[in-house]
Amino acid sequence: MGSGAGQTLTNTSGAFLFTLHTAAAASTAYSTTLGGFDDGIAVGASNEYVFFVVDPSSAATTPTLTAAISSALTSTADITKSGRGTLVLTGTNTAGGGGKKTTINEGTLEISDLDNIGGDTGALVFAGGTLRLSSSYAGDDISTRTITFLNGGGTIDTNGFDLALAGSVGSGVGGLRKTGLGNLMLYAAATYTGTTTISAGTLTVGADNATGVGGDLIIGGGATLDLATYNITAGLVSTTGASPAILGSGTITASTGFAFTNTGDTIVDAVLAGTGGLLKTQANMLTLTGLSTFSGPIEIQAGTLSFNSITSIGGAASALGSVTTAQDGVIRMGLTTAATTLNYTGSGSTSDRTIGMQGTTGAVTLDASGTGALVLGGVHFETAGNKTLTLKGTSDPLLANTLGALDEYGLGVLTLVKSDTNTWVINATSFYSGATSINDGTLRFTADQNLAGALNFGTANSITTAGTLDLSTASAAFAGAMTVQTNTGSETNQLVIGAGESLTVGGTVTLGSSAATSTTLFTASGEGTFNAINTTGTGVTFLVGNSNTNFATADFSALANMNVSLNTTSGILQVSSASGTNSTGYGTLILAQNTTITASALTVGGGGSYNSNAGQINSLKLGTSTNVINVDAVNIGTGSRDLGSITFLNSNG
């Protein structure tokens, strides 16, 4: 646009306006150039170059316009960029620097050198616009200018360059947005009070408070905040998008708190401080490793929060902060149906902080996978709904990961599941009504329990691992059924009952998987007492050997006492498959040293089964001391070619 060798273009009043025709195609980029004036472009008495580069709208599909000025701006005047479009300055300009200023109100101003805006002195004012470094940027430090962020703030687009600012990035009430690939390195404190947003690339902190004072801090998906060892302050610190990163060991002090809303995994080594709390909202993993001091509550609405340390209320710094009140000490997990996990990876931590289960049906998992034990307070319901608590982890089975009481608070039904190979301990009397299921590892009670639900070894007949219930120092009663249905082949489900302790179950006892060609092994030990008290159930209410092809062995011989009390009118203790053609399997029940059985009938090999070979002998082995059997009928091998045996081990049998 225009030319004039040895000529000057002078604008005596008004702005330079670049706009598109109304017929411009959507989603299309257009460009134009003003240049060819060897003696430059001047302005009149206004002493201001005002450039309007107008895109029709802010919609994503709008056509866009880039206007380039290749001739020098020769007047000692301000430069003002307005409009949503892009202005590119390429000449060595007098305007915009020295005693004058460059203001970016809207859209983008692109430069390749500070000489494009009057050199390395003068004011640089952001009022909603973007300063973009061109693909041939010379590396000038823009902090040699006096930078101010007005309302609307400003954006620095590093466009793939690493830009180091030795001076302050700015002052004012506005905020700073970092966009584009490349690293914006801030080596001096700043005093602006608006929001700092890192949308792309890296923002490196090279001095305390380099990102302003008190404004919010947002780290976007794919962007990185690198604190190194420096400290910054903010209002609300939040993450968005896919996978933002927070690097370094410095401290972020947030007066409002921390909100991790990003969808990808994030690791935070920094120290998190301030009076606010921490919120995690997405189904990803957030890993915290710094010794943080934030004192607000933690809420995990979805996904996994991984940590390596935790302290008690009023205690020292930890990855999960340092709270001072019991209310703030509750770690709240779940929202509606979302599943949440608290994953411990440390060398050993003890805390009295508790877990509050939220949501409706959302499952909560506590995963202890550190080199030391994790000890926490209890787990309780905070909202209505039926929920599942899973205790798991890969920590050494000798480590006693510990919880306090489990309490529904009358808000629903809690189901407890133990999985993985480690050990979890419940050290207080609990109040929950759902089933307790042990799929793997050890669940230990060290306080007496009186529970309304069922006891399961294996939540399904496809489970191929075996678990242990340890009652070495406590007794437990389950009003529901007891089912052992794991299909291990070789591993044995264990029940440990210490001397003077007992396990009492009130429902049907089933020892054996219903899966085809399965093997179920169960052993009780510890010199304690096993009680199966079900005087109202009818039919087979104590069964060893479930399906027709199940091999089931239940060995209570190491216990001091065993009491089986069934319905004396119609309750049956049976050792064999429940019914049908028994093509391969059989059951074996070995009684405790002192055993009393009260039932309507005792059946060994009489479930209507067909044993196809002589080795398929369903077997009841009596205890080594006193055996009392009070039944109306004893049936041995009474099914279709059933085979059964009762072995008397000594004269007291």
Q: Where are the domains of the chain?
A: 1-140, 435-653
Q: Please tell me the distance from the alpha carbon of residue 526 to that of residue 542, in angstroms, as a whole number.
A: 22
Amino acid letter, 195: T
CB 419 within 8 A of CB 392: yes
Residues of the chain with pLDDT under 70: 1-6, 516-517, 547-549, 578-584, 607-615, 639-642, 649-653
CB 585 within 8 A of CB 551: yes
- Compute CA distances 540 → 33, 40, 156, whole Å: 93, 103, 77
- Kindly state the DSSP code that residue 327 receives in the 8-state scheme: H
Backbone angles phi, psi at 346, to 5 degrees: -90, -170
Q: How many CB atoms lie within 10 A of CB 77?
A: 23
Tokens of 3: 């030319």
Cβ burial 265-282 (10 Å sphere, 16+ → b, else e)? bbebbbbbbbebbbbbbb
- Looking up tokens 């990185």, which residue turns up? 224
Q: Please tell me the distance from the alpha carbon of residue 230 to that of residue 247, in angstroms, as a whole number.
A: 11
Q: Please tell me the distance from the alpha carbon of residue 52 to that of residue 87, in angstroms, as a whole number.
A: 8
Closest CA to 78 of 54, 51, 53: 51
Sign of the C-alpha dihedral computed for residues 365, 262, 258 and 347 taken in this order: positive
Q: What pLDDT score was predicted for residue 574? A: 94
Q: Which helix H or strand E contains 328, and what residues bound it? A: helix 326-329
Provide the pairing of β-strand 467-471 with 9-11: unpaired
Q: What pLDDT score was predicted for residue 2? A: 44
Q: How many residues does the chain have?
A: 653
Q: Please tell me the distance from the alpha carbon of residue 44 to that of residue 67, in angstroms, as a whole number.
A: 21
Provide the pairing of β-strand 285-288 with 196-198: unpaired
- Compute CA distances 111 → 98, 102, 130, 244, whole Å: 17, 12, 11, 28
* Contacts within 8 Å (CB) and 24+ apart, 29-32: 29/63, 29/64, 29/65, 29/66, 30/63, 30/64, 30/65, 30/66, 31/65, 31/66, 31/67, 31/68, 32/1, 32/65, 32/66, 32/67, 32/68
What is the tens place of the pLDDT at every residue in 264-285? 999 999 999 999 999 999 999 9
Closest CA to 301 of 339, 334, 342, 259: 334
Q: How many CB atoms lie within 10 A of CB 379?
A: 27
- Compute CA distances 27 → 55, 110, 180, 213, whole Å: 11, 21, 21, 39
CB 105 within 8 A of CB 125: no
pTM comes to 0.92
